[in-house]
Each structure stands twice: as C-alpha cells, then as structure tokens.
Amino acid sequence: MESPELNPQVAHTARVYDYWLGGHDNYEADRRAGARSEQVHPHVRVTARQNRNFMLRAAEFCAEQGIRQFLDIGTGIPTEPNLHQAVQRIDPTARVVYVDNDPMVLAHALMTGTPQGRTTYVHADVRQPDSILTAPELLATLDPTLPTALSLIAVMHFVEDEHSPYDIVDHLLSALAPGSYLVMTHATPDFGPEMAEVERIYHESGMPGQIRTRAEFARFFTNLEWVPPALTTPHNWRPTIAPPAKMDSQVQFYAGVARKV
C-alpha cells in the first residue's frame, strides 16, 4: 500500500479527536482547532468520551447477539480499549476491519488481535464506499454471507450533503448480509448552539462538517429495525450508570443501533 501524504499544517478530524481524548498523536494545527472548539463548547471532551463509551457498549451488544464481523469506518487513532479488544474478549474469533483516511491512523495500523480472530486496516475515505467494499484487506477478512456490524461513530457529520451521505450509508448496508447492524452517532444542533460553533471552527480550520437534526439522523436508519432504546443520545443508550439529565446539553449528539432485516 502506498503511504499517503501527511500534512501537519492542516487539522484532521482524527487527530483533533485524539487531542480531546488526551492522546499525543496530534499536531499544533489539530490542538489549535481542538482548543478553539473547547472555547465555544466546554464539554467537547465529555462528548468524545461518551461517543467512545457508546461505541464499546454497542460493539459488545452486537457481539453478544452473535455478530462476529465488524466494519469500523472512521476509526481514528487507536485508544485502548479498541473495538477489536472489546469484541474479541467476548469471542476471540471475531474479525474487525478498521477504516480511516488519516495517514497517522495508518501509522498505528499494526494493531494485533487475538490469534483466533483477525484485525486489519483499510486506508480509505467513507465518501468513496466502493474503495472500502472492494479493498483486498476487507475481502480477505470479512465473509459477505455473514452478518456484520457497521460502526460509524462520529463520522457522518463530516460528510456534507453534496457528497450524498444517505446514499453512502445505504450503499454500505446493501453490501452486508441480513442480520447486520448499523451502529452510529452524529453531532446535532438540537441541544444547544455550541455544536454549530464547533462546526464553524472546523470549516475555518479546513475540515468539512455538517451537523444534523434528529429527523435527519433518523433518516440514516430507514428500513432498519431499531434496537431499544431506539434513537437516543450516546450516554442514554444502555448505560451502565444512569447519566445526569444535563448531559444532553453537554454531549449534543444522537446515537442509535438498528438491525438490517
């Protein structure tokens, strides 16, 4: 695989997210965009943590339902525990394909899973779903006849309408077997003005972004069967500890898990 060019002068969503999670794989441009976002949305680090916690709970849920294949698009820079660690604790034979378009994520792609399972990485952009679905790494890892959990955590709000986000998700789901799951979170303006300000800062920093309303988020799940509690917020999806009521205004995200029938 040819190594893509890394530009440390331009912020990248994966590295900004790494900064919010307390990681060290980021550059000055990423830290600057992340810090500016914190100025207008002081709870943005809470948002990042709650998204990650939801991802782990949802992945574990899918594994408990018998899912043994996972496609995680927009995986970001690895932060333990990673998705493959969570699901391979439940079944060591689980297979995970990570996808991201950030060269720094590629540099961390040497993650290893359990001997019985398999973990691999595809360098691709969610806006080009065929480049994901036809990637040799994916074809060698996932069985198209078996259900797969498609994980889109905090990624589709970086796909603006001009790139047909709903068609992208539909195309990805159409390639998956019945019984597959869609696991997704998305930034929203519905809980306060802060997230719209973060979107503005992203644009000014050279990153795409389009936050969406509840109805717009729900559209991604058309023709799928909701898993209770259906459309909710990341911290309210099957939490291990009941979150405080004020957390909706802090997180400002929607979340959901649904099954392809």
pLDDT of residue 2: 41
Supply φ then ψ for residue 145, to 5 degrees: -85, -10
Of the candidates 105, 49, 29, the one whose C-alpha atom is nearest the C-alpha of residue 73 is 105
| CA atoms within a 13 Å half-sphere pointing along the CA-CB vector of 36 | 18
Q: What is the pLDDT of residue 160?
A: 96
pLDDT of residue 116: 64
CA-wise closest residue to 260 among 65, 98, 96, 122: 65
pTM above 0.75, yes or no: yes
Locate 186 and state its tokens: 């998305």
Q: Where are the domains of the chain?
A: 13-259
Strand partners, 96: 70, 119
Coil/strand/helix, residue 99: strand
| pLDDT tens, N- to C-terminus, the chain (261 residues) | 344 466 788 888 778 888 888 888 888 998 998 899 888 888 888 898 999 999 999 999 999 999 999 999 998 877 778 899 999 999 999 999 999 987 777 766 655 555 666 889 999 999 999 999 999 999 999 999 999 999 999 999 999 999 999 999 999 999 999 999 999 999 999 999 999 998 998 899 888 899 999 999 999 999 999 999 999 999 999 998 877 777 899 999 999 999 999
Task: State the angle between helix axes of 28-40 and 13-20 in degrees (0 to 180), rounded to the nearest 10.
Answer: 60
pLDDT at 242: 79
Q: Which parts of 111-255 fold into alpha helices (H)?
A: 129-133, 136-139, 165-174, 194-204, 214-218, 247-251
Quote the radius of gyration of the chain (alpha carbons, Å).
Answer: 17
Looking at the DSSP assignment, which residues form a beta bridge with residue 182?
150, 258
Q: For the domain with range 13-259, which CATH number is right: 3.40.50.150, 3.30.559.10, 3.40.640.10, 3.40.50.300?
A: 3.40.50.150
